[in-house]
């Protein structure tokens, strides 16, 4: 059983996440990227680690089996309610590390694992990645994404003198219990050192302002859906400066861990 402090922290996180400004918009854009990757790799047996309030299985995807591992009580309860009539879907209320150690995923094989916008929230990312490795086959693709330290809005804040360094943890990150701010080099090195090989990488969605500022622009009608679509496409002209970065991984059979 998890400790009461862990339960309380998860409850705090769920409340902060549900109330986070602009995050629902960011989540939609993130899901669009994930779906494109799932389709690109023809994923059929999918594991989603951390589903929040909008599980992937509710996005019209075609799949054979979907497993969700979600530690948040209200998030996992919502996923169970949404999938109650679909025998292809299994929801496990647990952290990934606990699910692996308790063998809750025994008998499951996955050709694609999604751990989106999650790694920066985990105190020990290396242990998380090691747990992922234990449930991978050589054909399993893992999609990881995290906020980008080199996002345009962070670079702007640094040049304005608002932050001393692009890797500083913001007040919003502290509220959401986020422990790390990765740039691509750091994310790449973490994955390589944990024994993965990188299939491809990139950034997504040019976000010029903070979440709160973006939400204010949405509220007054300045930031339209058309502009958001343009900001997604803008990354092609400003490579690496998107608000989030991602890598697609497979286990490196030549590594000795």
Taking CA atoms, 123 is separated from 1, 33, 120, 177, 205, in Å, by: 19, 25, 8, 9, 26
Span 44-74, pLDDT tens digits: 999 999 999 999 999 999 999 999 999 999 9
The reported pLDDT for the residue numbered 127 is 95
The reported pLDDT for the residue numbered 4 is 36
Taking CA atoms, 246 is separated from 27, 86, 114, 238, in Å, by: 14, 30, 11, 15
**What topology is assigned to 4-151+166-203+241-251 in CATH?**
Rossmann fold (3.40.50)
Q: Quick one: average pLDDT of 208-234?
A: 97
Span 144-153, pLDDT tens digits: 999 999 999 9
> How does residue 228 score in pLDDT terms, banded at 50, 70 and 90?
very high
Our measurement of the distance from residue 219's CA atom to the centroid of its chain's CA atoms, rounded to an integer in Å, reads 25
The reported pLDDT for the residue numbered 168 is 87
Q: Please state the domain extents for the chain.
A: 4-151+166-203+241-251
Least Cα distance to 204 among 241, 167, 176, 255 occurs for 241
Q: Quick one: average pLDDT of 129-138?
A: 96
H/E element, 155: helix 152-159
> How does residue 6 score in pLDDT terms, banded at 50, 70 and 90?
very low
Average pLDDT, the chain: 90
Least Cα distance to 120 among 59, 48, 170 occurs for 170
The reported pLDDT for the residue numbered 8 is 39
Q: Quick one: average pLDDT of 96-125?
A: 95
* 3 state SS of 203: strand
């Amino acid at each position: 059983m998890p400790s009461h402090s862990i339960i309380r922290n998860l409850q705090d996180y769920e409340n902060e996440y549900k109330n986070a400004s602009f995050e629902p918009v960011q989540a939609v854009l993130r899901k669009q990227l994930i779906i494109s990757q799932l389709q690109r790799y023809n994923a059929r047996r999918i594991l989603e680690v951390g589903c929040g309030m909008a599980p992937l299985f509710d996005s019209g995807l075609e799949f054979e089996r979907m497993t969700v591992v979600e530690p948040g009580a209200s998030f996992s309860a919502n996923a169970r309610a949404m999938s109650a009539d679909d025998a292809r879907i299994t929801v496990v209320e647990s952290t990934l590390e606990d699910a692996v150690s308790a063998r809750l995923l025994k008998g499951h094989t996955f050709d694609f694992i999604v751990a989106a916008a999650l790694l920066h929230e985990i105190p020990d990312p290396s242990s998380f990645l090691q747990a992922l490795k234990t449930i991978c086959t050589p054909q399993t693709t893992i999609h990881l994404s995290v906020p980008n330290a080199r996002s345009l809005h962070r670079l702007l804040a640094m040049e304005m003198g608002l932050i001393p360094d692009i890797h500083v943890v913001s007040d919003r990150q502290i509220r959401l219990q986020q422990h790390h701010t990765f740039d691509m080099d750091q994310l790449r090195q973490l994955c390589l050192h944990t024994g993965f090989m990188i299939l491809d990488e990139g950034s997504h969605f040019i976000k010029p302002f903070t979440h709160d500022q973006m939400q204010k622009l949405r509220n007054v009608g300045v930031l339209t859906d058309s502009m958001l679509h343009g900001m997604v496409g803008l990354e092609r002209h400003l490579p690496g400066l998107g608000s989030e970065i991602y890598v697609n991984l497979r286990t490196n059979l030549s590594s000795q861990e």
